[in-house]
């Protein structure tokens, strides 16, 4: 497969080390692009829910693929989130083309882009972190239940359901969590003179323009690789939302190659 050139890719909420992570689909995506810069905008590895007994080969292959990308000239910015907050202790670290930061400011064609995970806007993180952690484990349980339901649903010819997404959406809409999160990011970005603000955290992919009497900004959220399987891409001219589609890949054949292949320092190529 010929790799598609991309200037910048923003990925968030991959949650490696959990059963909900779609690592195989992410590998297919990563091996279909040739990015100059990759920004991992928080919750890349889920330290909260990490267990030694659950680390599939596909999760390790994601790490190997990113390491190979760095060896081939790609810069990677790892921005910390709430599930990998332990890295905030070393958030000024640079190891060659790997940069660990809490936030990132870019200037592209005279426009300022403010990038951060976004958990600082979550009241539960700020005042009741233990509640958020219980919620995170409950969410993983919901993912496992959803997988079981999907197995039966597919057997019955009804296709996949997203129980966790439906429940989460209904709850967050009820308390206006998502709107509050987005509006807070937007208002702060306008006040500080940014043209774009990019977040993760709420697993809601979106590109949204906004203006008020103080100015305007474009809010973007890169979504996640648990439910939505999305990424933000910048091609040197504009930002677009990438959405993974199974039909774009020869899934069975390509997934077999990913699982069987051992890189041993060589570049992973699908196709």
**Domain count of the chain?**
1
270: in domain: no
CA 214 → CA 81, 107, 182, 191, distances in Å?
Answer: 29, 21, 17, 7
Q: Concatenated DSSP letters for the chain?
A: -PPEEEEEEEE----BTSTT--HHHHHHHHTTEEEEEEEEES-SB-STT--TT---HHHHHHHHHHHHHHHTT-EEEEE--STTGGGGGGTT-EETTEEEESEEEEEETTEEEEEE--GGG-HHHHH-HHHHHHHHHHHHHHHHHHHHHHHHHHHTT-----HHHHHHHHHHHHTTHHHHHHHHHHHHHHHTT-SEEEE-SS---EEEEEEETTEEEEEEE---TTTT-EEEEE-SS-EEEEE--GGGS-HHHHHHHHHH---TTSPP---
82: in domain: yes
Cβ contact 66:31 at 8 Å: no
What are the per-10-residue average pLDDT scores of the chain (271 residues)? 93 94 96 97 88 87 97 96 89 94 95 92 57 56 66 74 59 62 89 95 93 94 96 97 91 53 36 26
Alpha carbon 107 to chain centroid distance? 22
Amino acid 149: pLDDT: 75
Q: Could you tell me the CATH number of the domain that includes residue 116?
A: 3.60.21.10
Q: Model's pTM, two decimal places?
A: 0.81
193: in domain: yes
268: in domain: no
Task: Please give the residue range of the domain that contains residue 147.
Answer: 4-260
61: in domain: yes
Amino acid 263: pLDDT: 41
169: in domain: yes
Amino acid 264: pLDDT: 42
Amino acid 262: pLDDT: 40
CB atoms within 10 A of CB 66: 19
- Of 42, 41, 50, the closest CA to residue 20 belongs to 50
Cβ contact 243:224 at 8 Å: no
267: in domain: no
- Of 98, 37, 45, 34, the closest CA to residue 269 belongs to 34
Q: CB-based contacts of 147: which residues, under 8 Å, 6+ apart?
A: 19
């Amino acid at each position: 497969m010929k790799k598609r050139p991309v200037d910048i890719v923003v990925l968030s909420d991959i949650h490696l080390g959990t059963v909900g992570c779609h690592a195989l689909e992410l590998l297919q995506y990563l091996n279909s692009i040739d990015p100059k810069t990759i920004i991992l905008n928080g919750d890349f590895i889920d330290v909260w829910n990490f267990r030694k007994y659950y680390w599939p080969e596909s999760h390790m292959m994601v790490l190997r693929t990113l390491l190979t990308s760095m060896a081939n000239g790609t810069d990677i910015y790892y921005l910390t989130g709430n599930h990998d907050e332990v890295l905030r202790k070393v958030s000024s670290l640079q190891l060659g083309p790997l940069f660990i930061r809490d936030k990132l400011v870019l200037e592209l064609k005279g426009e300022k882009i403010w990038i951060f995970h976004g958990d600082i806007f979550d009241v539960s993180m700020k005042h009741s972190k233990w509640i958020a952690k219980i919620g995170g484990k409950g969410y993983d349980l919901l993912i496992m239940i959803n997988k079981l339901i999907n197995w039966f649903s597919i057997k019955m010819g009804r296709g996949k359901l997203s129980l966790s997404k439906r429940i989460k959406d209904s709850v967050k809409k009820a308390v206006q969590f998502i709107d509050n999160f987005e509006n807070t990011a937007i208002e702060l970005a306008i006040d500080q003179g940014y043209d774009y603000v990019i977040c993760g955290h709420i697993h809601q992919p979106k590109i949204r323009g906004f203006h008020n009497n103080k100015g305007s900004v474009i809010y973007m959220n890169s979504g996640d690789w648990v439910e939505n399987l999305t990424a933000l891409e910048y091609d040197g001219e504009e930002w677009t939302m990438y959405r993974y589609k199974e039909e774009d890949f020869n899934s069975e054949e390509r997934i077999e190659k990913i699982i069987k292949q051992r890189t041993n320092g060589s570049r992973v190529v699908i196709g």
